[in-house]
Structure 1
Amino acid sequence: MPEEPTENISGGDDGSVAAAFEAGDAGTRAEAVVDELGGLYWQKTYGGKDAFESLVRTILSQNTSDVASQPAHDALMERYGAERNDADAADDAGAEDDGDGTDGRDLAAALASAEQSELAETISSAGLYNQKSEMIIGAAERICEEYGGREGFDEFVRTEDPSEVRETLLDVHGVGPKTADCVLLFAGGRDGVFPVDTHVHRIARRMGLAPADADHETVREHLEADVPGEKCGFGHTAMIQFGREYCTARRPACLDGPEACPLYDLCDRVGVDEVGESVVDPAEAAELAGE
């Protein structure tokens, strides 16, 4: 499961069961936007993903596309996953074979003892593989040291206060706000968490849901304040899908006319010149308007 799914499927204890989306009466424009997205895409249960694997996935996805990061994740899991069927597993880091062809280690332990050059080669399709391999090994070492491995970290993410979990995650080298929020959302299933990626950052400012010059953290604060907690996770994945299908960076659907965008009436179109058919970043548009 890519942390930014092509479709709005975040999974859960049973990722195959769809949940009906009930819009209700929106109290803010941001909530109205999410409710409209609920009419376009379907909603599924959040949470249920392994916290450490979610962390690894999101690190792999940094500064790259799902098309590139997914093969890297699959290769990593095949080589280091606890359930991998590796004839040489018993030789890795002195581990003992448990009799079923695996080495019995969890993913965090396996990655904590991984050779960086080998891991870098394994995840090379994700780009920036030297940096990412260093981040992943460092995170794995810390998680093994502080939580005893994958299961202890997963318990921490699921049960502790979200603000404490977020602060702890942000203290891990290579983990930024979006990565921390994705772990909270997809592993912890926490309400009130609205991760901000490039799509969400662009759309929220273009629509006028956050200031035109807002950074990622400011956009997150506005969305989490204006969207009910139980709708934040769905809003995140639905807005990403909307950004890919309608509100793209270079040519949003509104340039083809009001009828081309289902959220046209809820959008300020900051930085979009429908007459001239040109688009600039909302921050640039705000700067030009102030001159």
Structure 2
Amino acid sequence: MSDDPEPAENISGGSADGGYADTFDADAPATRAEAVVDRLGDRYWQKSYGGRDAFECLVRTILSQNTSDVASQPAHDALMDRYGGREVRSTSNSASGERSEPRAEGDLAEALASADQPELAETISSAGLYNQKSERIIAIADRIVAEYGGEDAFDAFVREDDSGTVRDTLLDMTGVGPKTADCVLLFAGGRDGVFPVDTHVHRIARRIGLAPPDADHETVREHLERDVPGEKCGFGHTAMIQFGREYCSARKPDCLDDPEACPMADLCDQIGVDPTSGDVTDPAEAGVADD
């Protein structure tokens, strides 16, 4: 949507990932995690997600694995130009979740299932690990065509089936991990209570003290989904990523130079960050925060 406050280059969200601007109650948060998400929403955006085509979302998230948006976005665009076969990928721009534009003929899953692997690898080369990713994409596309008949039936499965069943099915696909599965559930399925954990979310949740310092990605996810209301998990994920890019980087968070420079200063335990010495370590190496 044209007035979407989220930058379109954010592969985890933005206008390309559907959804619509929304407003959520930020009064009297029940947990510190909710207070953090509320403040992030005030600073960046509050949105409800859903509306992406599930298979394209799955492919796009695979392309984003172990690389940056700058590298994976051109790979996604090149893949869609060569194999998409649809004039305009429709999105959901209203609370109803109805598609705003009809899709042209063609099936991306069928096209990729029959793709020549070296050609696909060349097409997505900017994303890195292109041989591995192309093999995985072709194998997943082949499975979706075999089991669902194509991307439309798979899309319906992701939107309508039990979320636990959808997540387990996605995790059973080679190359699909928890973050990828959760992104599909959120951006395509529009599911509440799904908080995908990427490297930014993993770092920030432990650094602030919203999860144990030694928590793995799945444990961080469990804590956030427990402590953040379901309807706020989606924008909590994308806004936390933006916060990590702008303020809370891995090696030099803004609080090192000025404790007041961080908008989360009063909510953060600074686990692994020592402004006095300038040392920054992984939270797992810095001690245990209150849960």
Band of TM-score, shorter chain:
0.7 to 0.9
Within-5 A mapping of 1:1-291? 5=10, 9=14, 18-83=21-86, 104-286=105-287
Q: Deviations over 1:51-92 (max 9, x none)?
A: 00000000000000000000000000000002269xxxxxxx
CA distance in 2, matches of 1:159, 1:3: 27
Does the 8 Å CA contact 2:63/2:127 hold for their aligned counterparts? yes
Displaced runs of 4 or more, over 6 A? 1-4
CA distance in 1, matches of 2:164, 2:71: 31
When the two chains are superposed, the root-mean-square deviation of aligned CA atoms in Å is: 2.3
Unaligned stretches of 5+ residues in structure 2 = 1-5, 89-103
CA distance in 2, matches of 1:82, 1:2: 26
CA shift at 1:9, angstroms? 2.8
CA distance in 2, matches of 1:11, 1:78: 15
SS of equivalent to 2:140: helix
* Residues 1:4 and 1:238: Cα distance change in structure 2 (over 3 Å): farther
The one-letter code sitting in structure 2 at the alignment partner of 1:264 is: A
Partner of 1:98: none
The one-letter code sitting in structure 2 at the alignment partner of 1:179 is: T
Does the 8 Å CA contact 2:195/2:234 hold for their aligned counterparts? yes
The one-letter code sitting in structure 1 at the alignment partner of 2:108 is: L
What TM-score, normalized by structure 2, do the two folds share? 0.87
Counting aligned pairs with the same residue, the percent is: 73
CA distance in 1, matches of 2:235, 2:270: 23
* Residues 1:244 and 1:258: Cα distance change in structure 2 (over 3 Å): same
What TM-score, normalized by structure 1, do the two folds share? 0.87
Does the 8 Å CA contact 1:206/1:269 hold for their aligned counterparts? yes
The one-letter code sitting in structure 2 at the alignment partner of 1:9 is: G
Unaligned stretches of 5+ residues in structure 1 = 86-102
* Residues 1:4 and 1:120: Cα distance change in structure 2 (over 3 Å): same
* Residues 1:7 and 1:259: Cα distance change in structure 2 (over 3 Å): farther
* Residues 1:273 and 1:35: Cα distance change in structure 2 (over 3 Å): same
The one-letter code sitting in structure 2 at the alignment partner of 1:77 is: M
Q: Which has the larger radius of gyration?
A: 1
CA shift at 1:8, angstroms? 5.9
SS of equivalent to 2:287: helix
Does the 8 Å CA contact 2:13/2:187 hold for their aligned counterparts? no
Does the 8 Å CA contact 1:8/1:42 hold for their aligned counterparts? no
